[in-house]
Amino acid sequence: MSPDPATAAPAPVTGEIPVVPLAQGVAPAAPAPPRYAVLPADIERDAETIRQLWQRNLPEVAPQRYDWLYRSGAAEAWLLRGPGGDVVGSTGLMRRRLKLFGELRPAGQAVDLNVDRAHRFATPALLLQQAVTATAHDGRAEAIYGFANTKSAALLRRAGYRPLGELQRWVRPLRMGPSLCARYGKGPLWNLGADLALRLLGWASPETYRYRRGPGRVEAIEQFDERFDALWVAASPCFPIVGERTADYLRWRFTQSPDAPYKVLGLCDGRQSLLAYLVYRRHGTYVHLSDFFGVEPGAFCRLLAELLRRARREGAEAVATFWLGPARVVQTLRRFGFRRRPSGLSTLLCPGPERPGVDPARRFDPESWYVTAADLDVDAF
């Protein structure tokens, strides 16, 4: 997991009542107390307080998330105190290590922003986000990234984030199941024709007649072992900005995740070394492709073809994935019949101090990044 940040606690972030100048000769009144204050949370002492906030404001959050993210994952949290001293909101920072232009640096994802209904206006949420971005401004994190819908993106920009690009959602339909019929269907005959068309496209798809043989062997992998560490060392230099994908991180992100169980397919050579892998899970009628990583593009094609064949045999309606990064991956997805769909999520970045020898514009070039659902705190498909 990511190294511990600096132990010195940051000063509270406050939102103060404006002070009106007094007439000459009038004794000043006592200073007005801050209306809102943001303080670092104690992960053990404040656990129940944060869980109660989630119950009120994030009811969809799994009960196991707190232990997974804030204890096992060692995420940071902040609490928002209102005018009366009660805790009325919280936010978090999922620690992450990014390899940025060849150096492994501490970073993180902004997560779990929530404020009680009576306090949902700009200032409280902005104060919480400013506490998170302060970790980038004071050097404790090289970069903070976040994913936001249209409404929350405006707030993040005010807190110091800048747009990086849309988190792309790609879907490969496999059959006209109930959800696809409900979305696109116009009647029984139309649905029957659409289902037949999808089957014909499946017969003509690359995975049907190609990528069945080649160097290496595709196999199901039961655990993230030292082979994933070796692959990380070999493949990470291929990408300017990529989140750490060591065996330890992948075990935490997928094996211990509240969204588990996940399955892993790997392409191994004759010496059992790992050439590439992908991680996926079945959720309802969809298969979610959560992560993929390797050196050779052909290795990813072999694994993607095998995943599509398995998903079709198991009766899945579609395979879906998230992506932000080089266009060559998009070209591969298109080749296999994936189509881009709206995700509703923008990717935003709050960079740390500029580094010598690194063009700041490269940080905001999507071609520099490698982002899948492995870099998110949840599979938000």
pLDDT at res. 204 = 58
The CA-atom distances, in angstroms, between 20 and each of 24, 31, 34 are: 13, 11, 15
Helix, strand, coil percentages (3-state) for the chain, rounded to 5, are 35, 30, 35
Cα of 35 vs its chain's centroid, Å = 33
Tallying the residues shown for the chain, one arrives at 381
Rounded Cα distance, 320 and 150, in Å: 22
Q: Band of the pLDDT at 4, cuts 50, 70, 90?
A: very low
Its pTM surpasses 0.95: no
Q: Give the pLDDT confidence of 311-336 residue by residue, as tens digits.
A: 998 989 999 999 999 999 999 999 99
- Which residues share a beta bridge with 115? 89
Confirm if 364 and 349 have CB atoms less than 8 A apart. Answer: yes
| All domains in the chain, ordered by first residue | 172-317 (3.40.630.30)
Residue type, 155: L
Q: Give the pLDDT confidence of 15-50 residue by residue, as tens digits.
A: 543 333 333 444 444 444 458 999 999 999 999 999
Cα of 94 vs its chain's centroid, Å = 10
- Provide φ and ψ at 350, rounded to 5°: -115, 105
pLDDT at res. 27 = 45
Residue 196 has pLDDT above 90, yes or no: no
Q: Give the pLDDT confidence of 197-208 residue by residue, as tens digits.
A: 666 565 557 766
For 320-335, b/e burial (b = at least 16 CB within 10 A) is bbbbbbbeebeebbee
Give Dmax over CA atoms of the chain in angstroms. Answer: 90
The residue among 298 and 3 whose pLDDT is bigger is 298
Residue type, 91: T
Closest CA relative to residue 152, chosen from 131, 126, 134, 127: 126
Rounded Cα distance, 97 and 77, in Å: 18
Residue 294 has pLDDT above 90, yes or no: yes
pLDDT at res. 200 = 59
Six-digit token string for 216: 């290496």
**Residues 6 or more apart whose Cβ sits within 8 Å of residue 297:** 328, 332
**Residues 6 or more apart whose Cβ sits within 8 Å of residue 375:** 96, 109, 145, 243
- Which residues share a beta bridge with 321? 170, 289
The residue among 101 and 183 whose pLDDT is bigger is 101
**Residues 6 or more apart whose Cβ sits within 8 Å of residue 128:** 38, 78, 80, 89, 90, 91, 113, 115
Rounded Cα distance, 74 and 37, in Å: 23
Q: Band of the pLDDT at 6, cuts 50, 70, 90?
A: very low
Confirm if 302 and 212 have CB atoms less than 8 A apart. Answer: no
Can you tell me whether residue 38 is helix, strand or coil? strand
pLDDT at res. 42 = 97
* Helices 297-313, 327-335: inter-axial angle, 10-degree rounding: 40
